[in-house]
A and B are shown apart, each in its own frame.
Chain A
Amino acid sequence: MDQVNKLIPKRRFKEFQTSEAWEQREFGELADYKKGPFGSVLKKDIFVPKSDDVVKVYEQQNAIKKDSKLERYFITKEYAKKLNGFEVLPGEIIISCAGTIGEMYVLPSSAEIGIINQALMRVRVNERIVDKTLFKYLFSNMIDSFSRTHSNGSAIKNIPPFADLKPMKVRIPIIKEQHKIVVLLTNLDNLITLHQRKLDKIKSLKKSYLSEMFPAEGESVPKRRFTGFTEAWEQCKLLESVDNIIDFRGRTPKKLGMDWSETGYLALSALNVKNGFIDAEVDAHYGDQKLYDVWMSGNELHQGQVLFTTEAPMGNVAQVPDNKGYILSQRTIAFEVKKDLITENYLAVVLGSPKSFSALTALSSGGTAKGVSQKSLSGFYISVPRELKEQDEIAKLFMSLDNLITLHQRKLEKLQNLKKAYLNEMFV
């Protein structure tokens, strides 16, 4: 009995604290399992086109993509009658069992009644013993540990045979406690989905602001504006709103008779400048003090300065994150703005807008690998509000949206990790 006493989870709901330990069962007791019929029974020549007199054949993809609507093959109702042993109903679980194994999906109530094919397993959970949702967690834990012990490095390719699967041991609490656990896990799942949706929504919202906060084609003012600003906007040439473009086209350490170093000043090539941030992970190069001095002297980049990639990829815009000093490398240029005409924060926003991107695309040369030259930039116009204050407001809005997006990204990750922690602590 001692052994049994240990078999309670680390974290448990208060009301069940004094309940009995989790009971040992076999998977064979928890549900009825049925694998799809042999391939020869569902051959290509049996399939018929979709009509009212057919029954759908469920496939791996339904389980993997978690979508009951995907459909490719149908059989006649008449033939399906003969296959009724392989029928699957809404509410039942289908599990992929060849190749990508262990993907589980509960057919929703809207799903059609169908026949499972060879690569699927149908599970009818004995809901008097185990909660259906909990069963999914238990089953997937089992498959994980089975593959850990049975694989030789690579993932296993088949679901364990019934002879192995059914006697496998599993511990479960009483049904009431199961339900409670499921409530928590479902709650977390929903929270994660909702946060994903919220993240997507904020991203769309940013897009919608980008389309409404700048004048549309042929308009002189944008659809949406901060209060207190009434003056018309201007279309000005990008090159006329900057004093200088810093462009070290073709400059490499080799040409300066030097070499990259292990550490030091990060070189910003077009690969490191993403839309809105600097990515030091991809193909990062560093220059030592000497290289930095020779390369950048007189052109040092300052915090907030706008960076732009001219090709491969063309059109990424970011701002220099701090005053640590950076080397301006391949296919990246930086602008020195005319401070009385345009703010750096605003330039970054307007350059990164979809409208600018399509204008730049039209000006660019090349088929798949697009690129803009300084010459073609001369025909590039941006929309600018006259007042620097309005520019600031606009820039602030987009910065706050960007921050919101990052924060929600982090929150989403946090929730996902939290769920993992619960799964770990709430099961035996």
Chain B
Amino acid sequence: MITSEEIKRRLWDGANELRGSMDASRYKDYMLGLMFYKFLSDKTLEKYRSVDALGNITEDELVDEYINAKNEYGEELEKMIQSTLGYYVSPEYLYQMWLRDIKNGDFEVQKVIDSLNNFERTISNAGGGDFKGIFSSSTLDLTDTALGSNLNERSKNIQSLILLFADLNMVDLQKGDILGDAYEYLIGQFAMESGKKAGEFYTPHQVSEVMAQIVAKTQDITSIYDPTVGSGSLLLTVKKHLNLEDQRDLYYYGQEKNTATYNLTRMNLLLHGVRPEKMVIKNADTLGNDWPEDPKNPNEGVQFDAVVMNPPYSVKNWNKSGLKVSDPRFEIAGALPPDSKGDYAFLLHGLYHLGTNGTMAIVLPHGVLFRGSSEGEIRKKLIEKNQIDAIIGLPSSLFTNTGIPVVVIILKKNRNITDPILMIDASNNFIKVGKQNVLQEKDIAQIVDVYINKSEIKGFSHLAKREEILENEYNMNIPRYVESIETDIPHDVDAHLYGGIPRENIKDLKILNELVPNILKESIKEIRPGYIKLEKSIDEITKSIDNHHIIISMSSELKDKVKTYIDKHYDKLRNITGESVLKDLEEDMLSEVKAILNDYEYIDVYTAYQIIAEIWKNSLIRDIELIANEGFYNVGRQRQPNMVTKGSGKNKREEQDGWTASIIPNKLIADLLYSDQLKDLDSKSSKIQEIELEISELLEGAKIEDSIENESLADAIKRTKEDELGDSFDKKALKVELKVADKASKKYQLLKKVDTLLEHSALLSNEIKNNEKDLRDSVQNRIEELTDEEIDRLVYQKWFGQTDEKIVALIQASIKKELKILQELNDRYFDTLDGIDKEIGNLLLDFEALKNDLVVG
């Protein structure tokens, strides 16, 4: 059983290796196209298997049967397959036939070309429209010299590409969306590799998540539209957040201008299990011609429950077809977006197709919030009609190929006229990964929570009323509405002049005041009205807080709660089956941790959320996929060859190096079940270190001239390039020296000592090497013999080993934050101007005296 992570890695590594110098954006068409053809071939074969009720025969046999059947029944057979799938692949054009040719050494590129061309003819007229032109030679030209300068080279490259998918059963992989995920992943990876093209940017997954969660969580969706659909990832992200029933009933609409991308969109949706009859994807210019038109009401657009889009940013000369304000899409705005910036044209197009109760989410550059002239007019109209629901400012550098910060705008048509606009400033919520800024799971969760609860959080969100917006003359720039939190506590004149910490500042230490008011009270003393000084050091205060019964009981209470929570979910996770909806398990777990932490006003809920989200990301997603398929204890005892890449260049190859357990890390098995052996290894290696220490002391001693070590050992030490004494002994020279030295001499003793030490150390290293190998083997053999009880213990340790401690530590973390502020205040006001002056005065007097005491000789 291969997991999606492994497929992703394998395909992407393969792609990189095969791609050579070819541009990523071109190569992806070949790679993804052939992958899709494999899918179609596998589907056809599976269909045939069930039609002829062939049961469990091998793929090879199945192909033979299919060839025979075709000979026997001819077109009848294919028609039958076509009637259910909407297409078929004739036996002679199967992907599997290419593989046979490669094996027999009579592969021809022409045959692949013929197969792809023939596919067009096998599409049924009814409902098969989604497959039309999907392998057209304009995007999948196998004679292109970019694939190799001559036919021979091209043939070789295409063969390796075909072999890359050879053993992947696409039909199996499609279950559980592994195939779709892998495909999507490749599209994303390729997008990152490609340079930017005319303002088109692949929507980073985290941005899609924000949009999809908002759209999916606020209403029922039966139809969704992306007017600039790209690879379709926004549509699919929304799908992912719907329940299975809604997923099945959803209608997908999308339009894409770029033909190659348009082909990808269709393949991507089909691979994700979207039924052909549920999707309508069109290859055309969204702005040029309005689409889709309502068949019942000509000249009126179809309206959708959800519109999502990431259009190209600030497109110049977008209005090539000379649209007028009278275009029904722009009517609401009463103005045409400027020729130099197409942003609002896209927004208005999407809005036009939004149903009365629907939700639209669009990504655009910040400029749309404050630019003037006609864009200002449009903004004013939208605000007057009150169709802007929320504006979410995101951090810069989220996209791989542009650094510009973007905003997500949420639009709705059914808002009450008095509903304020929610402004969210999430521009500071991210972590840096290399040059890139990345929204973490907790950042996404916080944005979505604030959106759903319409909550106002200082420095993060604000509900802007109509009057405020008018006051700002319809300028929607986020900083005008969401005040950034002052991080610097204002300085206080009296405190600087006369010392002491302003009591006001102490009052602002909310957590300390509410949790441990007594400790705080005992630690400060008023020195004059409104000013206090610290009576205890911060270290002392920290200690008394840590030992305070409230903190201790709070910690243990929280620990219990977290433990119950984990145990409950651990049990669920162990017992999942193929029927469980993994997505729901994750969501339950995440929302429950929030609920637990919500009782603790002073703990950052979202940090705890992130802890759980990361367990999912790092282990659970992969592990429970395996558990669902094969059962907990079976997977626990499973092991597979540990493949390592050896050599480089032409000699690069994969070789097996032992075994690894499927879900339990080998190291964990060693740590928990072989601790004695590990301890023994430890003590041996520390013995080696002792020896090395002794040797290094002898070496150092030998570097001091005239020392006895120097006289005795110098000739047995390796020399550096500058012919100075180096940092190690020369074993050969040592033996020679030993032979000639007088056995009674001090020199002999020292040489002998070095010799013994070196020997002992070599012996130990050898032992360690053997022990380590034994341990490795024991662990690898143990995997298959683990008891149920051991598996329970190990997996629990792997997933939730430190989770309770990490969450409980958040209590300390929030207290520490305030103690740090207290420390800063104390440092800031510790000196007074007068105090410093007095000290300077004294010092100057001393200096005066000293100075006069000096004479120039």
Chain B residues whose CB sits within 8 angstroms of the CB of A212 once the complex forms: 490, 492-493
**Beta-carbon contact of B693 and A41 below 8 Å:** yes
- Using CB atoms, name the residue of chain B closest to A422: B854
CA of A85 to CA of B701, assembled, Å: 13
- B: interface residue count bin: 35 or more
CA of A184 to CA of B844, assembled, Å: 11
- Using CB atoms, name the residue of chain B closest to A17: B855
Give the residue of A82, A161, A190, A210 whose beta carbon is less than 8 angstroms from that of B703.
Answer: A161
CA of A293 to CA of B472, assembled, Å: 40
- Is the C-beta of A198 less than 8 angstroms from some C-beta in chain B? yes
**Beta-carbon contact of A208 and B495 below 8 Å:** yes
- Using CB atoms, name the residue of chain B closest to A15: B853
- Is the C-beta of B405 less than 8 angstroms from some C-beta in chain A? yes
**Beta-carbon contact of B693 and A82 below 8 Å:** yes
**Beta-carbon contact of B703 and A37 below 8 Å:** no
Residues A194 and B840 in contact in the complex (CB < 8 Å), given A10-B857, A46-B689, A163-B703: yes
CA of A345 to CA of B704, assembled, Å: 71
Residues A197 and B855 in contact in the complex (CB < 8 Å), given A37-B693, A191-B844, A368-B396: no
Give the residue of A35, A201, A210 whose beta carbon is less than 8 angstroms from that of B831.
Answer: A201
- Is the C-beta of B26 less than 8 angstroms from some C-beta in chain A? no
- Using CB atoms, name the residue of chain A closest to B854: A11
CA of A15 to CA of B853, assembled, Å: 8
- Is the C-beta of B1 less than 8 angstroms from some C-beta in chain A? no
**Beta-carbon contact of B857 and A14 below 8 Å:** no
- Is the C-beta of B432 less than 8 angstroms from some C-beta in chain A? no
**Beta-carbon contact of B686 and A79 below 8 Å:** yes
- Is the C-beta of B785 less than 8 angstroms from some C-beta in chain A? no
- Is the C-beta of A12 less than 8 angstroms from some C-beta in chain B? yes
- Is the C-beta of A226 less than 8 angstroms from some C-beta in chain B? no
- Is the C-beta of B477 less than 8 angstroms from some C-beta in chain A? yes
Give the residue of A12, A14, A191, A367 whose beta carbon is less than 8 angstroms from that of B396.
Answer: A367
**Beta-carbon contact of B692 and A13 below 8 Å:** no
Chain A residues whose CB sits within 8 angstroms of the CB of B92 once the complex forms: none
A-B pairs with beta carbons under 8 A, tally: 129
In angstroms, how far is the closest chain B Cβ from the Cβ of A184?
5
- A: interface residue count bin: 35 or more
**Beta-carbon contact of A224 and B847 below 8 Å:** no
In angstroms, how far is the closest chain B Cβ from the Cβ of A273?
24
**Beta-carbon contact of A367 and B405 below 8 Å:** yes
In angstroms, how far is the closest chain B Cβ from the Cβ of A314?
13
CA of A8 to CA of B855, assembled, Å: 12
Which among B220-228, B478-486, B512-520 touches the partner chain? B478-486
Mostly, the B contact residues are helix
Give the residue of B490, B724, B831 whose beta carbon is less than 8 angstroms from that of A211.
Answer: B490
Chain A 146-163 per-residue mask, 1 if CB under 8 angstroms from chain B, else 0: 000000000000000111
**Beta-carbon contact of A14 and B689 below 8 Å:** no
CA of A379 to CA of B833, assembled, Å: 39
In angstroms, how far is the closest chain B Cβ from the Cβ of A123?
16
**Beta-carbon contact of A12 and B480 below 8 Å:** no
Residues A365 and B844 in contact in the complex (CB < 8 Å), given A40-B692, A163-B705, A194-B836: no
- Is the C-beta of B839 less than 8 angstroms from some C-beta in chain A? yes
In angstroms, how far is the closest chain B Cβ from the Cβ of A152?
15
**Beta-carbon contact of A85 and B697 below 8 Å:** yes
- Using CB atoms, name the residue of chain B closest to A209: B493
Residues A14 and B854 in contact in the complex (CB < 8 Å), given A194-B836, A198-B840, A367-B404: yes
- Using CB atoms, name the residue of chain A closest to B365: A367
**Beta-carbon contact of A188 and B847 below 8 Å:** yes
Which among A95-103, A334-342, A355-363, A382-390 touches the partner chain? A355-363
Chain B residues whose CB sits within 8 angstroms of the CB of A79 once the complex forms: 686, 689
**Beta-carbon contact of B696 and A201 below 8 Å:** no
Mostly, the A contact residues are helix
Chain B residues whose CB sits within 8 angstroms of the CB of A208 once the complex forms: 490-493, 495-496
CA of A184 to CA of B396, assembled, Å: 54
**Beta-carbon contact of B692 and A9 below 8 Å:** no
Chain A 61-89 per-residue mask, 1 if CB under 8 angstroms from chain B, else 0: 00000000000000000010011010000
**Beta-carbon contact of A40 and B689 below 8 Å:** yes
Chain B residues whose CB sits within 8 angstroms of the CB of A284 once the complex forms: none
Chain B residues whose CB sits within 8 angstroms of the CB of A43 once the complex forms: 689
CA of A379 to CA of B472, assembled, Å: 8
**Beta-carbon contact of A195 and B854 below 8 Å:** no
Cβ < 8 Å to A, chain B residues 801-857: 828, 831-833, 836-837, 839-840, 843-844, 846-847, 850, 853-857
Write the residues of chain A forming the contact surface with B, with a CB cutoff of 8 angstroms. 8-15, 17, 35, 37-38, 40-41, 43, 45-46, 79, 82-83, 85, 161-163, 183-184, 187-188, 190-191, 194-195, 197-198, 201-202, 204-205, 207-212, 224, 358, 361-365, 367-368, 375, 379, 425-426
25 sampled A-B residue pairs with Cβ under 8 A: A12-B855, A17-B857, A37-B696, A38-B692, A38-B727, A46-B686, A46-B689, A79-B686, A161-B703, A161-B724, A194-B839, A194-B843, A195-B840, A204-B491, A204-B828, A205-B496, A205-B833, A211-B492, A212-B490, A361-B479, A362-B484, A367-B405, A368-B396, A375-B372, A379-B472
Query: 4 tightest CB-CB pairs across the interface, nearest first?
Result: A208-B491, A211-B490, A207-B491, A362-B479
Write the residues of chain B forming the contact surface with A, with a CB cutoff of 8 angstroms. 366, 370, 372, 396, 404-405, 472-473, 477, 479-480, 483-484, 486, 490-493, 495-497, 685-686, 689-690, 692-693, 696-697, 700, 703-705, 724, 727, 828, 831-833, 836-837, 839-840, 843-844, 846-847, 850, 853-857
* A-B contacts besides A191-B840, A205-B491, A368-B396, 17 pairs, CB < 8 Å: A9-B857, A12-B854, A13-B855, A14-B854, A40-B692, A82-B690, A162-B704, A163-B703, A184-B847, A187-B846, A187-B847, A194-B840, A201-B836, A205-B493, A205-B497, A212-B490, A425-B856
